[in-house]
Amino acid sequence: MINFVKDKMTLRVPTAKISAVGMRKLAEQPIVRRALETLKGCARIKRTMWSRRVQEYEAKINSGNIVQIAEVVRDLFRSEAQPEQSYSERELYEAALDRLSREISAVQRITETEAVKEIEAALAKGKRRGKAPDGEERSLRTRRLDGHCSTASRIDDQAGSHSDARILFHAAVRNLAD
């Protein structure tokens, strides 16, 4: 029996059917760290129809894989300096943020509010596109890094998510940033 205090819900699943209904153990600390590192990366927004991206985002959110959920949060995150999200973008972002924050809070034994702050801090450290918050033009080096982010996204889209070329490219971009 599992109690969800926030949702005022109790879930009863026979132990013999745990895997059949899709229940899993909480993520371990190294997976949570990997999810938080994912939030710091470049947003990978594919140039496909919005309806197709929605399906992909929903599949990632419903997968239960917190690294994939972190990818959705990262891709849909908008800073104060960026344009506002549409209603459907905001709904997807909030659903992913809620799932990610609940898992992190359970694993790290912190409140959901503290987990959201940790997620937002990781997002703030990530590479962002657009104008600087004070309205000034971003430096040439920052714009060059943004170009590398979009190049990395194109390579990811073409090569797949586990290619050696992608890993090497991201390592080269990190070295350039340092």
**Which pLDDT value is given to residue 15?**
81
Higher pLDDT, 26 or 178: 26
Q: 18 near 58, Cβ under 8 Å?
A: no
What does the mean pLDDT of the chain come to?
A: 77
Model confidence over 55-103: pLDDT tens digits? 999 999 999 899 999 999 999 999 888 888 899 999 999 999 999 999 9
Taking residue 149's Cβ as centre, other Cβ atoms within 10 Å add up to 19
**Which pLDDT value is given to residue 128?**
59
DSSP letters for 26-61: PPPHHHHHHHHHHHTS-----SS-HHHHHHHHHHHH
Q: What is the dihedral of CA 64, 93, 58, 168, to 10 degrees?
A: -70
Domain boundaries of the chain, sorted by first residue: 2-128, 129-178
Strand partners, 3: 10
**Which pLDDT value is given to residue 174?**
52
Higher pLDDT, 14 or 103: 103
Strand partners, 4: 9
Query: SS3 of 154, please?
Result: helix
pLDDT of 173 > 70? The answer is: no
**Which pLDDT value is given to residue 146?**
47
**Which pLDDT value is given to residue 149?**
56
CATH code for the structural domain at 2-128: 1.20.58.1290
Query: SS3 of 88, please?
Result: helix
